Amino acid sequence: MRPGERAYPVARLLYNPRFDALAPLAIAYCAGPEDVARSIAFARDHAFEIAVRSGGHSYGGYSSGSGHLVIDVTPIAGVVPASAPGRTAVVGSGARLIDVYNVLGTHGQLVPGGSCPTVGIAGLTLGGGVGVFARRYGLAADNLAAVTLVTADAQVLRCSPEHDEALFWACRGGGGGNFGVATSFEFATHALPPITLFTYDFAWSAAHDVLGEWQDWSRTVNEAVWSNCQLLSGAGTSLRVAGVSCAHSGQTAAWLAPLLTRLPAPTYSFLGDETYVNEMMVESGCSGLTVAACHLDTTFPHGALSRQAFTASSNYVSAPMGANRLSAAVTAVDRLAADLPGLGGGLVFDALGGAVNAVSPTETAFVHRRYLASIQSSFNWTAATPMRTVAAGARWLEHVRATVYDPSTGAYQNYIDPTLTNFAEAYYGENLARLRAVKRAIDPDDVFRFAQSIRP
C-alpha cells in the first residue's frame, strides 16, 4: 500500500495519534515468511529503511517511520490451539492479544499475555510480556517454545532451545524490531485455572497507607494472585487495588484478608468468580462488546475501540518503598490532578515476583527478575488538548522520574521511552553485552534499526 491509495491515510496510523505525522513510503502486508523475505530483500536493494509492525502499539512509534518500508505482519494472524492444554499452540505474529485469548480460551488453554486487547503478540512477546497471569505462569516470553524469524539476509530460521539457541534467548525479552521479523510463535499452553476478579476503591486520603500496605502484601501473597495499585488522576484523584487470582473466590478472599484488615473500609468493592475469556474482556475494557468489536476501529472492520494519545515511562521497585518515596508518589498524582486537570493519567504499580522472579535475570534476555513491582507513569490526552498542556504533562513525567524512580532499577523495554538517554542499559542491564553479540552475529549491517534499537 502506497501514498495515494485510498486506504493509505488510515493504514499508516499507529495506535498512538502522537505518531500520526509518520508517512511511510509503503506498507508491505505480508502473508507469510516468503513475503517478509522478499520485502526485506527489496528494501535492502533500494536502500530503504525498514520498520516492522505487528499491533502498532510501540510507545516510541518505532513500528513506522517516514521514508520507511513498513513490514506489516497483520495478515499472519492464525491462532492454532494446542492438541491439549500443556502442549504447544502456534500463533501468527500478527495476531492481536484478544484473538489469542479468545481462540485458546475456547479450547480451555491460556498463554499469559498483557492487558490491552489490541496489542500485537509479536511486540509483546519479544519484549517480555507482563500481564495478570505473570506471577502464576511467567511472562509471555517465558512460555515461548520456538519462534520463526526472517533475518536481515532473508533466511527463515526456527529458533528454539535446540536450534539457534542464542537468537532464541535474545527473542525472549530482547525487544521487538532488533533481530529480524518474527512470523510465528510456538507457546507452551496452560489448562485454564479457576479465576476470580477483585477490585477495591479507597478514599484518596488513604493513598499513602494503601500503597504502603499493598506493596508489603503483594510480594508475600500466594503467587496465584496478581494485583496492582492504581493512583490515578482524571476528574480528581482515585485510588484502586485490583487484580486477578487463579483460584475460586473463597480462597481469594482468604488471601486478600490480611491486606483488607489493615486498610480503611473501601468505598467500592467487588470480588467474584469469572470465566477466562470474560475475564480477559473485562481486563481489556471490552465488557459488553463482542470479541470482533474488541479491536481497533482503524484496522478491523468490526472494531469498536479507538486509538489513544499518551506518553509513559517506567521503572521498577526493588525493595519496599520507604515513607519518602510513598509520599513522592502520592504527591506526584496530587500535582497532576491539581495542575493539569485536563489530563488523565497517574502511577500504576503492577505486582511482580512469583513465576517472573523464579527465572534468573540472565536465563532469557528479560533481565528485570528481582523486583517486587513495576511502576508505569503515564498521561493521556485528546485531540482537543492544547499542546502546551501536553508539554506540561511531559514535565510532570520528568518530575515523577526525579522524585519517585530509582534509576538503578532500569525500565521496561515494552514501555519503550524515547526520552531515556541510557535506554540500552535501562532495558537490558547485565544482558546487554550478550544481546549486542547476538545482534553482531545475526544483523551485522544493522538492517533492523530504530532510535532505541540494539546496535551491533
Among 33, 138, 176, 354, binds ligand FAD (CB under 6 A): 176
The answer to the question of residue 131 lying near ligand FAD (CB under 6 A) is yes
What's the closest the beta carbon of residue 88 comes to ligand FAD, in angstroms?
19
The enclosing H or E element of 391 equals helix 387-403
The answer to the question of residue 346 lying near ligand FAD (CB under 6 A) is no
Stretch that binds ligand FAD, among 23-31, 173-181, 284-292, 339-347 (CB under 6 A): 173-181
Q: How far apart are CA 390 and CA 223, in angstroms?
A: 38
> Which residue reads 468493592 in cell numbers?
269
**DSSP β-ladder status, 190-191 and 109-110:** antiparallel
Q: b/e for 344-380, b at 16 or more Cβ within 10 A? A: bbbbbbbbbbbbbbebebeebbbbbbbbbbbbbbbbb
Minimum CB distance to ligand FAD smaller for 177 or for 346 = 177
What's the closest the beta carbon of residue 59 comes to ligand FAD, in angstroms?
6
What's the closest the beta carbon of residue 326 comes to ligand FAD, in angstroms?
24
CB atoms near residue 201 (< 10 Å): 17
By rule CB under 6 A, what count of residues binds ligand FAD? Answer: 33
Q: How far apart are CA 131 and CA 277, in angstroms?
A: 14
Find the binding residues for ligand FAD in span 95-124 (CB under 6 A).
114-116, 119-120, 122-124
Q: What is the pattern of x (binds ligand FAD, CB under 6 A) and - over residues 9-28?
A: ------x-------------
The enclosing H or E element of 103 equals helix 97-106
Find the binding residues for ligand FAD in span 45-74 (CB under 6 A).
51-59, 62-63, 73
Minimum CB distance to ligand FAD smaller for 401 or for 449 = 449
What's the closest the beta carbon of residue 331 comes to ligand FAD, in angstroms?
26
Minimum CB distance to ligand FAD smaller for 249 or for 314 = 314
Burial label, 245 (beta-carbon count in 10 A; 0-12, 13-18, 19+) = buried
The answer to the question of residue 414 lying near ligand FAD (CB under 6 A) is yes
The answer to the question of residue 410 lying near ligand FAD (CB under 6 A) is no
Question: Phi and psi of 341, rounded to 5°?
Answer: -65, -15
Minimum CB distance to ligand FAD smaller for 55 or for 345 = 55
The answer to the question of residue 127 lying near ligand FAD (CB under 6 A) is yes
Minimum CB distance to ligand FAD smaller for 40 or for 119 = 119
What's the closest the beta carbon of residue 127 comes to ligand FAD, in angstroms?
5
Across the beta sheet with 79-80, the strand order is 79-80, 88-92, 181-188, 144-150, 156-159
The CA dihedral of 164, 166, 172, 178, to the nearest 10 degrees, is: -90
Stretch that binds ligand FAD, among 23-31, 40-48, 175-183, 322-330 (CB under 6 A): 175-183
The answer to the question of residue 365 lying near ligand FAD (CB under 6 A) is no
What's the closest the beta carbon of residue 181 comes to ligand FAD, in angstroms?
5
Please, which residues have CB within 8 angstroms of residue 390's CB and are 6 or more apart in sequence?
A: 311, 381
Specify the amino acid at residue 431: N
Across the beta sheet with 68-72, the strand order is 26-29, 68-72, 49-53
The answer to the question of residue 380 lying near ligand FAD (CB under 6 A) is no
Minimum CB distance to ligand FAD smaller for 27 or for 260 = 27
Among 26, 130, 188, 367, binds ligand FAD (CB under 6 A): 130
| 3-state SS assignment for residue 71 | strand
Please, which residues have CB within 8 angstroms of residue 26's CB and are 6 or more apart in sequence?
A: 1, 2, 3, 69, 70
Q: Where are the beta strands (DSSP E) in 203-356?
A: 225-234, 236-245, 268-274, 309-317, 344-351
**Site residues for ligand FAD per CB under 6 A:** 15, 51-59, 62-63, 73, 93, 114-116, 119-120, 122-124, 126-131, 176-177, 181-182, 414
